[in-house]
Amino acid sequence: MSESPLPPNTPSTPNHSNSSNITTGLSFKRHFRPYFTKKQLAILNGLKKSGQLVAKENNLRYTYCKFIQDVGKKVGFPQKTISTAQTLYHRFYLYYSVKDYPPQDISVTCIFVASKIEENIKKLKDIIVAVHSVKHPDWKELDPEQVSDDRRRKILTYEKLLLETLSFDFQLRHAYEYVIKFTKWLKEHHQPQLEHKRLAKKAYDLAVDSYRTLICVEYPAHTVAAGCIYLASKMLEEEDSAFKGLSAMEQWNNRFFSRMEDIEG
């Protein structure tokens, strides 16, 4: 019987207490970091940003991640491409500020780069047309030939900056890729009565929504997936007392290389 649905080389949730401290933002542009502790994120935010600006960026994060979702759906991208774009947005603004780089242009850049990473390539003009449609739903659709060269050049300039910020590392995994696998595995190996399809649907939706927060740069995808499954089970149990969710007796978190304090957090 398999001990875990994850491959043997899957890393455990990092031990945040042993994580190195961040002293300068520049030192972390030189190599890719898959995730950051809350303390490290706070230090990065405090390096060049006032408390008022940090609060503004937190509000804009939700707004523009929704914007990326809407534009991505308008273009016809799958959820994976949209989530990649949202992750790129979060990573860019770890180092830069909205007062220096407008979030709408950076959002467009992230969508454009994500389409290349996930091999759903669209012309930049087509993405800008979708942006116009989302921003002005009651207006006439923009003609792709009316997209100015200046606007295209600006996005292409931001593309280079975004790629440098990522250190050209595109190894991104998404939480909802694990949700169905995890719930199915739990039912097959540990909880035969688990309503895994209902649980998976709820957890999948939570995982998609999580990309409007910084959680994708705090924890690896398999830990986020475990957290979404745990929260989904709690929510469904509150909605329906007859729902057969996760067993309180089973230490299933160990099978997913994740600590319970991170899953609950």
- DSSP string covering 168-210: T------THHHHHHHHHHHHHHT-TT--HHHHHHHHHHHHHHG
pLDDT of residue 255: 74
pLDDT of residue 1: 44
pLDDT tens digit at each of 265 positions of the chain: 456 677 666 666 655 544 445 544 455 555 677 778 888 888 887 776 666 777 788 889 999 999 999 999 999 999 999 999 999 999 999 888 888 899 999 999 999 999 999 999 899 999 999 999 999 988 888 887 778 888 999 999 999 999 998 888 777 889 988 999 999 998 888 888 889 999 999 999 999 999 999 999 999 999 999 999 999 999 999 999 899 888 876 777 777 778 788 887 6
pLDDT of residue 193: 87
CA pseudo-torsion sign 94, 119, 14, 68: positive
pLDDT of residue 253: 73
Spatial separation of the C-alpha atoms in residues 179 and 87, rounded to whole Å:
18
pLDDT of residue 8: 61
Chain mean position to CA 76 = 19
Closest CA to 84 of 223, 177, 1, 6: 177
In Å, how far are 3, 74, 78, 117, 158 from 155, measured between CA atoms?
47, 19, 22, 16, 5
User: What b/e sequence results for 143-165 when a residue is b if at least 16 CB atoms lie within 10 Å of its CB, and e otherwise?
Assistant: eeeebeeeeeeebeebbeebbeb
Q: What is the pTM of this model?
A: 0.84
Domains and CATH numbers, the chain: 29-165 (1.10.472.10), 176-264 (1.10.472)
Whether the Cβ atoms of residue 229 and residue 203 lie closer than 8 Å to each other: yes
List, for residues 35-85, the tens digit of each pLDDT value. Answer: 788 888 888 877 766 667 777 888 899 999 999 999 999 999 999 999 999
